[in-house]
Amino acid sequence: MNIQAVKAIYKFEMARAWRTLFQSIVSPVLSTSLYFVVFGSAIGSRITEIDGISYGSFIVPGLIMLSLLTESIANASFGIYFPKFTGTIYELLSAPVSHFEIVLGYVGAAATKSMILGFIILATAGFFVPLQIMHPVWMVAFLVLTSVTFSLFGFIIGIWADGFEKLQIIPMVIITPLVFLGGSFYSINMLPPFWQNVTLFNPVLYLISGFRWSFYEIADVRVETSLAMISFFLAACMLVVWWIFKTGYQVKK
């Protein structure tokens, strides 16, 4: 493996994050803090607790997952789209760098930035609500798996997109609504039976449920099912990325 090439891509992408610190870190943290203030005060005054957990504490895993998913996709999609837009991707493809090393550099940097953001939001949440992490190892595992999986998904979007508008379509129209409807701010047990069954078709539910279990040992679905779902999605993303480079889809023109 060409470690130097991977490090070069990784360092370049991480340097871009520090150059846009407000957009990459400060803005998402401020937005999440507003969620705590608005939802914690407005809804928290009406719903005091869910499954024995105060409402403010209950929504922490969902808010972290919301930021994690959106930022992972945004970082990875823009990271690979911009070289396509400027034409520098052809220099990268002609360099002695394998496709695996390219993906490792871009996805690794995007996942790292998302995980840093996740830990910052977690620390920020401690100023608003009391936190308890029952399974810290599993919490980190879910954080890493989610960041890597959705960074891969964002990488696919960046390859697919042929304009800046398309970079925003899937995150805004599909991912964000799925997160809000996936139990971020409520337990699906609070829904009527019909809508509980409908929600089970939302893949984001399994991510949030497993992540919340690592905090409070409460979950809407079995944690084994959550791990199986995220592993399946990770494998699917890896397969699509392999197909992209094998066929040259939207890369070699």
Q: What is the pLDDT of residues 82-94, one digit of tens each?
A: 887 777 777 776 7
Is 252 a member of any domain?
no
Residues 59-76 as b or e (16 or more Cβ within 10 Å = b): bbbbbbbbbbbbbbbbbb
Report the pLDDT value the prediction gives residue 136, as an integer from 0 to 100: 92
Is 157 a member of any domain?
yes
Is 253 a member of any domain?
no
Is 125 a member of any domain?
yes
As a whole number of angstroms, the distance between CA 174 and CA 177 comes to 6
Report the pLDDT value the prediction gives residue 46, as an integer from 0 to 100: 66
Count of the separate structural domains present in the chain: 1
Tracing tokens 């493809």 back to the chain, one arrives at 93
DSSP 8-class letter at 162 = S
Is 27 a member of any domain?
yes
Calculate what percentage of the chain has a pLDDT beyond 70.
91
As a whole number of angstroms, the distance between CA 93 and CA 89 comes to 6
The residues pairing with 53 across neighbouring beta strands, listed in sequence order, are 50
- In one-letter notation, the amino acid at residue 1 is M
User: Which parts of the chain register pLDDT below 70?
Assistant: 21-24, 39-48, 93, 250-253
Q: Which domain holds residue 169?
A: 3-247
- State pLDDT tens for residues 4-56: 878 888 888 888 777 776 666 777 777 777 777 776 666 655 666 777 788 87
Is 224 a member of any domain?
yes
Is 79 a member of any domain?
yes
Is 178 a member of any domain?
yes
As a whole number of angstroms, the distance between CA 216 and CA 51 comes to 10
